[in-house]
Structure formats: C-alpha cells, structure tokens
C-alpha cells in the first residue's frame, strides 16, 4: 500500500542528506559473524516490510519486543523492504530523498540495537525508479550493514556471501548466501529469476569454501525474495499455505546447482505475505517467512521467523515464527491497534483506538497518523 502525503500536522519530516557513494566493488562482505560461546547462532528474518518513508510505528514496536526476547545475532531483510516509495512524487531527487528516509526508518533502529543486518532486494523495492545500486549505497552507509554491491560482474545488485566463524574464531563453520532474485530478462520475457552469472559466482565461491574446509562442503543457508520454482514439486512438511506460491517464471538454475554443490541446507524467502510453510525438495528445505510489516496485506499472519543453528551439527536447524497478533495482542487496546494497522474492521476499531490511545501511552497524534495510514 502506497500512502498519500500526510499533512505536516501529523508528520514531522526529518531532513536527511543523501548518502555518499562508496568507491569500489567487493565480492564478499568483510564483516565477521561468529557462533556464540554456547555454539548457537540465531537469525531474525524480516520479510516484506513494504512501507514508505512514514513507517507505521507499530512495526518497529513489534520488532523491538521480539528482539528483546529472542536476542538475534543477525537480521536478514528478505526484500520488498520498502514499497517503491513514493509514486506520488515524479521528481527523481525527491524520490531519492524519500527512499533514503524509508530505509533509515528501520536501518537506524537496527543500528541503535547493535545487531548486524544483511539484506536482499525484492520486486517492489525499485518501483520508484531509484536504482538498486543507489539504494545499496544507502544501506552500506550504516555500520550494521553487511550487504554489498558486488559490481558489474554479476547480474542485479546484492548477490554476496557472509561466513559465520566457529565459536573459537578459527575457521568458517557455516556460510550465508544472499541472492538478488528480483531480476528481469527483457529478451526472454521472464522476470524474478536468478541468472547464470550469479550461479557461476555461487559455484566458484562454494568450491573455494569447500577447498578451505578440507574438501568438505560448508553447510549453508540461502536468502532471497522470490520463491524458488521447485516449490511447486516440493513436499510440504509444516506451516500454512494461505495463498498459492508465486515462484520465479524463468528456467530453474539455482536449486539444481545447489544440489550438485551439496552445501545449501535451506533457502529462505518472503514474497507471499501470508505463507508460513516449510517444504522439502530433494533434501533442501524451502522456507517461507510471512510479512513483517503493516504496509501491505497480511491480516493475522504478520510476524517474524527466527532460525537457530548450532555449530555442533550445522546440517540441521530450528525455526519458529513469532506471530504478532498471537504473541502481543493480549488486551483490548493492543488488539485494537493491530486491527487498525492491519485494516481489519476499521471503523469501530478506529473509534476504540482513538479513545483508548491516551490511556495506553500512545499520543493522539500517533493514533491519528496510524489511522490515516490505514485509510489512505
């Protein structure tokens, strides 16, 4: 949902300068992730925030509550991080400024929390004509950001990997692959497909890691926005499929390569906001994370997926979803606020929310702003 401009009475516009462009492309993040002393490493998956430069306040409040209880070691943004904001503005400079503000809404929050962030792009991120390369420089300006612009040698922007070191820091114990899956091939008329040069890069890096690991593949996860095509043939193990999966439309290159390399244990993605399934395709798990924001559809399925690996056995993992409504909407006011931001039964709940807000620490201006976001 792309919201209309809210009046100055409701929103204090924060002036942000454009971020400087970093020179030089790199092929692997230089950041260091590491298993904890107890051997665990926990990832918080944030899918489809899909909001603009007036991020709905409830989104960050739910993030904060979940992060306080779960204490993730890494946050992964699974694409459609913004809504392609804002279509109202045709001036590219204004679009750039508002894109920077939209990204800052959550990146400054994660930076303040001191948690590293990796990200991939989705199909909605560039609807405002601000390129992925420009947006990546905005992300890379934050100290917490692990994502990189890998340069012109690989299609798209944001295909890279980040190793996770063992708890004693002596070796790479796990690896994280990130793919820009929101691509388009005009000649072939296909969209949302990982390209051959990305696969070539993956195989080369996978072989390098394997060599450094004594000839044994390094167990890995892959993260992207678009659903792999193999989901249509996979065996569904758990979770819900509340809408038909929307996989890539081109020839499948990625999963066959990963099966041949033998390193990827699971592929995590978003895109389909209300799906929470885990499916198995020939030993690789295909895992959908639900929408984590209030900028688009989601109803009662909004939440955060957490994934934990243990260096004692990196061939497997544990995962669960913290559903916002089930976990945090425990009284009349919190339920009402969720309904308002989700556009569920709006009229009655808007009135109840306005009445209850002052008694629950929410300013009338914030309540009015959230209602305007919902109806615009």
Q: Where are the alpha helices (DSSP H) in the chain?
A: 57-70, 92-113, 132-140, 196-212, 254-261, 324-328, 332-342, 346-356, 364-375
Rounded to whole angstroms, the Cα distance separating 127 from 186 reads 17
Rounded to whole angstroms, the Cα distance separating 118 from 222 reads 12
Domain spans of the chain, in order of start: 33-328, 330-376
Residue 6 pLDDT > 60, yes or no?
no
CA atoms within 13 A on the CB side of 64: 11
52-83 confidence digits (pLDDT tens): 988 999 999 999 999 999 999 999 999 999 98
Q: Which CATH architecture has domain 33-328?
A: 4-Layer Sandwich (3.60)
- Determine the average pLDDT of the residues in 289-297: 95
176 touches 118 (CB < 8 A): yes
Q: Which of 110, 67, 106 is nearest to 83 (CA)?
A: 106
168-227 confidence digits (pLDDT tens): 999 999 999 999 998 876 556 556 789 999 999 999 999 999 999 999 999 999 999 999
Residue 14 pLDDT > 50, yes or no?
no
pLDDT at residue number 25: 38
Rounded to whole angstroms, the Cα distance separating 63 from 303 reads 9
Let me know if 361 is exposed, middle or buried by CB neighbors in 10 A (0-12, 13-18, 19+): exposed
Residue 343 pLDDT > 50, yes or no?
yes
Rounded to whole angstroms, the Cα distance separating 339 from 119 reads 29
- Determine the average pLDDT of the residues in 305-322: 98
Bridging pattern class, strands 220-223 and 172-178: parallel
Residue 304 pLDDT > 50, yes or no?
yes
Partner residues linked to 82 by β-bridges: 51
Of 45-54, 136-145, 337-346, the poorest mean pLDDT is in 337-346
261-273 confidence digits (pLDDT tens): 999 999 999 999 9
Computed on alpha carbons and rounded to an integer, the radius of gyration of the chain in Å comes to 20
């Amino acid at each position: 949902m792309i919201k209309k401009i809210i009046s100055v009475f409701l929103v204090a516009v924060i002036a942000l300068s454009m971020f400087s462009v970093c020179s030089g492309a790199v092929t692997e993040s230089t950041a260091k992730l590491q298993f904890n002393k107890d051997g665990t490493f926990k990832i918080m998956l944030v899918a489809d925030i899909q909001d603009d430069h007036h991020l709905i306040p409830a989104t960050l409040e739910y993030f904060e509550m979940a992060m306080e209880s779960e204490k993730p070691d890494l946050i992964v943004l699974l694409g459609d991080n913004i809504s392609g904001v804002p279509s109202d503005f045709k001036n590219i400079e204004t679009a750039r400024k508002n894109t920077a503000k939209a990204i800052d809404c959550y990146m400054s929050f994660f930076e303040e929390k001191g948690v590293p962030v990796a990200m991939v792009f989705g199909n909605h991120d560039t609807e405002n004509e601000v390129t992925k390369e420009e947006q990546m420089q905005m992300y890379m300006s934050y100290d917490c950001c692990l994502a990189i612009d890998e340069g012109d040698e690989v299609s798209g922007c944001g295909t890279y990997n980040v190793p996770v070191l063992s708890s004693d820091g002596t070796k790479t114990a796990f690896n994280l692959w990130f793919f820009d899956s929101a691509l388009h091939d005009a000649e072939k008329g296909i969209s949302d497909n990982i390209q051959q040069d990305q696969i070539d890069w993956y195989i080369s890096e996978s072989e390098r890691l394997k060599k450094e690991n004594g000839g044994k593949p390094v167990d890995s996860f892959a993260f992207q926005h678009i659903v792999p095509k193999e989901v249509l043939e996979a065996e569904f193990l758990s979770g819900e499929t509340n809408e038909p999966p929307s996989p890539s439309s081109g020839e499948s290159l990625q999963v066959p390569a990963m099966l041949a390399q033998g390193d990827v244990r699971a592929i995590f993605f978003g895109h389909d906001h209300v799906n929470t399934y885990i499916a198995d395709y020939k030993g690789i798990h295909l895992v959908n994370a639900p929408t984590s924001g209030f900028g688009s559809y989601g109803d009662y399925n909004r939440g955060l997926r957490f994934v934990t690996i243990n260096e004692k056995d990196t061939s497997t993992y544990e995962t669960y979803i913290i559903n916002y409504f089930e976990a945090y909407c425990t009284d009349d006011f919190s339920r009402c606020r969720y309904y308002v931001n989700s556009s569920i039964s709006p009229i009655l709940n808007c009135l109840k929310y306005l009445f209850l807000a002052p008694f629950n620490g929410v300013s009338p201006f914030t309540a009015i702003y959230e209602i305007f976001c919902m109806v615009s």
